[in-house]
């Protein structure tokens, strides 16, 4: 791994920006209609629980990334095999997020620009930052989180002053009971964005204060979860359930409705910046996890050798992953959560946790 360290605040920043990613600008949990915000809170509870599992495993092997400590738990051959699958998983999800970014930008603001150009610019910037290392990525995050929070605060104030909030759109709360909320939460909202925090099992060894890991991780999940919940409440209050559900990019539509003093309007750029920043950090973290996994597994002298080849693979995969946006979205909603997210985010970590726990108990008995 890199001979670099990040401090607890930088880890908090990276986790928060990663969690916000695209979740802040699209409508997650909207299958529960006006109760979408409740599904996000339910998903957050699941995310906090699963993070405790990841934390426990990290504390057993604090100097190793996930792909390395698996071999200590299940043996060298099987561990290597599962490690390779995790690397492929991280890179595949990074590819999907890059495609999300390109398609969302195409449909919202750059309809005449080729998808290849948008994705190329994004992945080139990511490769440059990752080549410089995890510390540069973390320091970049510190600046951009402040920018996003400031823009978010301005947007909320302008929405309030525009008088376009109608909280009756959130009623009746649980009008259809708990069933739609639970169905919308598991696995989709739980997996995305909360379960994806498993990627940080590759980055936790870089933290310079091991004792702060649990607090930082839980705070980042809570903070990002509250931001996503608040955004969803505002979207539904401004647009109503039907428009929020139909809109690819509801936050853009919400901010587009701002009218203050006849001259403050057309503030869509704020949302586009939010999308670009969130997606940048999400793709960067996934790609970096894949790069570090490959570097460790093949005992390479440094990670810089594989940044560009992996970046190119992710770029071209993002263009060929689906023939159109609707096919891409269908895969993301009905295939990926069940066949990829659940095994890699939940089933395998629970298996590793159980094996580690049983071993510890047996050692105590001896």
The per-residue pLDDT for range 22-45, each reduced to its tens digit, is 899 888 999 999 999 999 999 999
Choose between 207 and 261: higher pLDDT: 207
- Average of pLDDT values for 355-359? 95
Residue 125's CB is within 10 A of a number of other CB atoms, namely 15
What is the band of 1 on the pLDDT scale with cuts at 50, 70, 90? Answer: low
DSSP 186: I
- Going from N- to C-terminal start, the domains of the chain cover 8-353
Residue 360 burial (CB < 10 Å; 0-12/13-18/19+)?
exposed
The answer to whether 29 and 39 are in contact (CB under 8 A) is: yes
- Average of pLDDT values for 108-134? 94
- Which CATH number is 8-353 given? 1.10.4160.10
At 61 the pLDDT is 93
Does residue 366 surpass a pLDDT of 80? Answer: no
- Average of pLDDT values for 282-300? 95
Arithmetic mean of pLDDT over the chain: 93
Does residue 248 surpass a pLDDT of 90? Answer: no
At 2 the pLDDT is 75
At 269 the pLDDT is 84
State the Cα–Cα distance between residues 5 and 209, nearest whole angstrom: 9
The per-residue pLDDT for range 190-247, each reduced to its tens digit, is 999 999 999 999 999 999 999 999 999 999 999 999 999 999 999 999 999 999 999 8
């Amino acid at each position: 791994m890199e001979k670099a360290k990040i401090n607890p605040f930088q880890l908090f920043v990276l986790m928060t920006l990663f969690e916000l990613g695209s979740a802040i600008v699209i409508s997650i949990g909207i299958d529960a209609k006006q109760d979408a915000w409740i599904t996000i809170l339910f998903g957050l509870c699941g995310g906090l629980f699963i993070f405790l599992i990841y934390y426990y495993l990290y504390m057993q092997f604090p100097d190793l990334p996930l792909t390395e400590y698996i071999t200590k738990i299940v043996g060298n051959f099987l561990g290597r095999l599962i490690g390779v699958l995790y690397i492929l998983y991280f890179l595949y999800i990074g590819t999907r997020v890059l495609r999300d970014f390109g398609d969302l930008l195409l449909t919202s603001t750059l309809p005449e620009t080729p998808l290849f150009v948008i994705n190329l610019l994004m992945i080139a910037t990511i490769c440059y930052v990752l080549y410089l290392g995890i510390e540069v990525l973390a320091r970049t995050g510190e600046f951009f989180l402040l920018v996003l929070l400031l823009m978010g605060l301005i947007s909320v104030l302008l929405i309030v002053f525009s008088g376009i909030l109608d909280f009756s759109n959130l009623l009746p709360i649980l009008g259809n009971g708990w069933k739609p909320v639970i169905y919308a939460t598991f696995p989709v909202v739980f997996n995305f964005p909360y379960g994806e925090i498993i990627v940080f099992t590759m980055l936790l060894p870089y933290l310079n204060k091991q004792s702060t890991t649990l607090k930082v991780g839980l705070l980042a999940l809570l903070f990002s979860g509250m931001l996503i919940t608040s955004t969803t409440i505002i979207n539904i209050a401004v647009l109503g359930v039907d428009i929020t559900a139909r809109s690819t990019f509801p936050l853009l539509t919400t901010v587009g409705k701002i009218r203050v003093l006849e001259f403050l309007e057309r503030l869509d750029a704020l949302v586009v910046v939010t999308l670009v920043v969130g997606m940048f950090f999400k793709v960067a973290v996934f790609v970096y996890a894949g790069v570090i996994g490959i570097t460790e597994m093949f005992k390479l002298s440094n990670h810089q050798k594989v940044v560009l080849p992996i970046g190119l693979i992710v770029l071209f995969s993002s263009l060929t992953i689906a023939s159109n946006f609707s096919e891409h979205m269908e895969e993301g909603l009905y295939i990926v959560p069940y066949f990829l997210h659940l095994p890699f985010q939940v089933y395998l970590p629970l298996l590793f946790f159980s094996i580690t726990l049983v071993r510890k108990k047996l050692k105590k008995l001896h």
